[in-house]
Amino acid sequence: MTKFRVRVSTGEAFGAGTWDKVFVSIVGTRGESPPLPLDHLGKEFTAGAEEDFEVTLPQDVGQVLLLRVHKVPPALPRLLGTLDPDAWFCRWFQLTPPGGASLRFPCYQWLEGTRNLVLREGAAKLSRADQHPKLQKQRQEELQARQEMYHWKTYIPGWPHCLDEATVKDLDLNTKYSTAKNIHFYLRGGSALTELRIKGLLDRKGLWRSLTEMRRILNFRKTSAAEYAFEHWQEDTFFASQFLNGFNPVLIRRCRSLPKNFPVTDAMVAPVLGPGTSLQTELERGSLFLVDHGILSGIRTNIINGRPQFSAAPMTLLYQRPGCGPLLPLAIQLSQTPGPNSPIFLPSDDKWDWLLAKTWVRNAEFSFHEALTHLLHAHLLPEVFAMATLRQLPHCHPLFKSTGLGIGGFSELIQRNMEQLNYSVLCLPEDIRTRGVEDIPGYYFRDDGLQVWDAVERFVSEIISIYYPSDVSVQDDAELQAWVREIFSEGFLRKESSGVPSSLETREALVRYVTMVIFTCSAMHSAISSGQFDACAWMPNLPPTMQLPPPTSKGRARPEGFIATLPPVNATCDVAIALWLLSKEPGEQRPLGTYPDEHFTEEAPRQSITAFQRRLAQISRDIRERNQGLALPYTYLDPPLIENSVAI
């Protein structure tokens, strides 16, 4: 008979403890023990507790390979009936054989009801490193069970595929918000709804009476960035700066030749360019930039309060003054088809003509961002990455461990963008080069994003080098290749034109791919999600919908017409509340580089994690020092404010 000491750690989350009985079976090279009870008087497995037990094996099972965990409700007298299923969040088991070193078995999962679970010692291993048949069988059975639990479905044709569940309530505890986070989220949403209803705004379907009245929505929740937008929203420099550091900083690109359907002339832009230069000269210098919302052309629009809404597909030409002068708008055309009914608006036009044109561009920014930059790139694709990880990588795999338009218009936009989506867009350094914006000054999204990308890439490279000694080891990892293949087929719908790989041949390609996945699900989501409320709190800066069609001539815009074009009161409130919730992490924040779940037990990856955290801390210090000199600090890529993954 052999005695083992067993230490069990229960999570600290609300409801993490359990009254259920827990048994363990120790699986070794020579056999498997029967289920052995972990039993004390009173309630075991209290939230936040680490508890010690001793179990006696009737026979020697040899070298320990696996730990099988059995959780069952306590037996009760028949008259008392049965208890409701009791969930338990187990952090880890630690097994100490007589005279031997302790073995840590990471779990970090909820076990609901009657449940059996097989755990492995915490060292990360590729399948080729598992020589014993029992370990190989466990890998296969774990993936088979997850593939039976998590199924793909087509939500809308042309969209990335997603998890086949009808509602959030159908998710298991390991894939939904914790109870505390859920309560926090709904309390915040409920308080916002109540406040705006008491103010008489939430259910009011009419127009705003004036720009002054709109200030009431700004007072609903204040941020320093929202206040700055209110004070500067009409200024050309602020309008242009939002293409660099606003909530959609991914569209601006250097313009080397004017599009044929954007017939800007020298005479139009001379007041801004000044004497001694021309459009052609500035094009050759590389000082002109273009933001093209052409993908919105002809898109379906929504109906709000019984009224059809309108959209535009504008083109905006911008000019970077020599030296470090501010970026300025030169010209705006509100459609993709030039002509007498599609004038080119200029800073020299009447104040209200020019302001209305800029506001239409901001509305296009809202539509493009919410459907594509945010929903598609920061939610639908990360869901694909997560699903493929659950279905194709076992817990012991090193990558598992480190890792205003209506729905019709949104659907159409996503379908269009999926046809042109390219792998390079998801890899920030390449995207910056492709758009030709490597040297435009004051582009803090680029500066901070590249620093974070580099830190993630170095971390990933270190982890990959530990477990993949050669390119051949990458090619031979069947689980890794199945993961990549499933992302390509389910997320990118097998489109070869996307440039997204369906297999990986080298360690360099693997580092790039994993860096892209981590960056997309963490830093990129933070950059394009955290600033949503800051941009929209003063609604004229980012109107979610427009109630009148775009102007077809100049000289007719008036203050009352400007207000009549903007969203109605109730739509303004609905979007403000939604973006307030979407911009704020609902509790239990886990910043990038923070791994409270200790899946790695080896020293080498733990050292890489520590080095990664040091790099992120230095990036944060640099960002905060720079921000002290900015009138509007850029904080969305400050590492302590970046979530480890998409959490809202």
Separation between Cα atoms, residue 418 and residue 149, nearest integer Å: 28
pLDDT score recorded for residue 82: 41
Cβ-based neighbours of 447, under 8 Å, separated by 6 or more: none
Phi, psi values for residue 279, rounded to 5°:
-55, -45
Q: What is the mean pLDDT of residues 606-625?
A: 96
pLDDT score recorded for residue 81: 41
Please state whether 274 falls in left (phi above 0), alpha (psi between -120 and 50) or beta.
Answer: left
Tokens of 435: 């758009």
Return the CATH number at 51. 2.60.60.20
Separation between Cα atoms, residue 344 and residue 338, nearest integer Å: 8
* Cα atoms in the Cβ-side hemisphere of radius 13 Å centred on 197: 6
Separation between Cα atoms, residue 330 and residue 316, nearest integer Å: 8
Cβ-based neighbours of 127, under 8 Å, separated by 6 or more: 136, 139, 477, 478, 479
- Which of the residue ranges 73-87, 409-423, 552-566 would you say has the lowest mean pLDDT? 73-87
Q: What is the mean pLDDT of residues 256-284?
A: 94
Separation between Cα atoms, residue 24 and residue 45, nearest integer Å: 14
Q: What is the mean pLDDT of residues 535-540?
A: 90
- Which of the residue ranges 268-277, 547-556, 587-596 would you say has the lowest mean pLDDT? 587-596
Longest distance between any two alpha carbons in the chain, whole Å:
96
Give 83's pLDDT tier (boundaries 50, 70, 90): very low
- Which of the residue ranges 199-203, 452-456, 477-481 would you say has the lowest mean pLDDT? 199-203
Within 10 angstroms of residue 437's Cβ, the number of other Cβ atoms is 20
Phi, psi values for residue 597, rounded to 5°:
-85, 110
Give 329's pLDDT tier (boundaries 50, 70, 90): very high
> pLDDT tens digits, residue range 473-517?
999 999 999 999 999 999 999 999 999 999 999 999 999 999 999
Within 10 angstroms of residue 2's Cβ, the number of other Cβ atoms is 15
Burial of 34 (C-beta count, 10 Å sphere; 0-12/13-18/19+): exposed
- Which of the residue ranges 46-50, 362-366, 593-597, 627-631 would you say has the lowest mean pLDDT? 593-597
Contact predicate 29/60, CB 8 Å: no
**Among the listed residues 471, 465, 507, the one whose alpha carbon sits nearest the alpha carbon of residue 608:** 465
Q: What is the mean pLDDT of residues 410-433?
A: 89
378 is in an annotated binding site: no
Is the per-residue pLDDT at 472 higher than 90? yes
**Among the listed residues 409, 420, 408, 305, the one whose alpha carbon sits nearest the alpha carbon of residue 364:** 409
pLDDT score recorded for residue 572: 86
pLDDT score recorded for residue 176: 66
Q: What is the mean pLDDT of residues 514-537?
A: 92
Look at 447 and 530; give whichever has higher pLDDT.
447
84 within a domain of the structure (yes/no): yes
pLDDT score recorded for residue 404: 44
pLDDT score recorded for residue 178: 64
Is the per-residue pLDDT at 87 higher than 70? yes
Separation between Cα atoms, residue 273 and residue 282, nearest integer Å: 9
Within 10 angstroms of residue 14's Cβ, the number of other Cβ atoms is 14
Q: What is the mean pLDDT of residues 331-351?
A: 96
pLDDT score recorded for residue 15: 83
pLDDT score recorded for residue 460: 95
Domain with 65 in it: 2-122
> pLDDT tens digits, residue range 359-403?
999 999 999 998 889 888 888 888 888 888 888 877 766 655 454
Separation between Cα atoms, residue 8 and residue 558, nearest integer Å: 70
Share of the chain above pLDDT 90, in %: 59
Is the per-residue pLDDT at 468 higher than 80? yes
- Which of the residue ranges 3-17, 222-236, 488-502, 568-582 would you say has the lowest mean pLDDT? 568-582
- Which of the residue ranges 292-301, 382-391, 621-630 would you say has the lowest mean pLDDT? 382-391
- Count of domains for the chain: 1
pLDDT score recorded for residue 407: 64
102 within a domain of the structure (yes/no): yes
Contact predicate 359/562, CB 8 Å: yes
Phi, psi values for residue 496, rounded to 5°:
-60, -30
Is the per-residue pLDDT at 70 higher than 90? yes
Give 177's pLDDT tier (boundaries 50, 70, 90): low
Q: What is the mean pLDDT of residues 581-597?
A: 74
Within 10 angstroms of residue 507's Cβ, the number of other Cβ atoms is 18
42 is in an annotated binding site: no
86 within a domain of the structure (yes/no): yes
15 is in an annotated binding site: yes
Look at 321 and 505; give whichever has higher pLDDT.
505
167 within a domain of the structure (yes/no): no
Tokens of 251: 């569209």
Contact predicate 48/10, CB 8 Å: yes
Separation between Cα atoms, residue 647 and residue 526, nearest integer Å: 10
379 is in an annotated binding site: yes
* pTM for this predicted structure: 0.90
Q: Which amino acid is at 626?
A: R
The C-alpha angle with vertex 232 and arms to 227 and 235, in degrees rounded to 5, equals 165
Tokens of 85: 């299923």
Phi, psi values for residue 439, rounded to 5°:
-120, 5
Look at 1 and 96; give whichever has higher pLDDT.
96
Instruction: Give strand pairing partners of 115.
Output: 71
Q: What is the mean pLDDT of residues 231-254?
A: 97
Phi, psi values for residue 112, rounded to 5°:
-100, 140
Q: What is the mean pLDDT of residues 629-647?
A: 90
Mean pLDDT of the chain: 88
Three-class DSSP category at 66: strand
pLDDT score recorded for residue 594: 85
Three-class DSSP category at 366: helix
pLDDT score recorded for residue 169: 74
146 within a domain of the structure (yes/no): no
267 within a domain of the structure (yes/no): no
> pLDDT tens digits, residue range 157-170?
898 998 888 777 77
- Which of the residue ranges 319-328, 390-399, 453-462 would you say has the lowest mean pLDDT? 390-399
28 within a domain of the structure (yes/no): yes
Share of the chain above pLDDT 70, in %: 91
23 within a domain of the structure (yes/no): yes
**HEC-encoded secondary structure of 437-477:** CCCCCCCHHHHHHHHHHHHHHHHHHHHHHHHCCCHHHHHCC
28 is in an annotated binding site: no
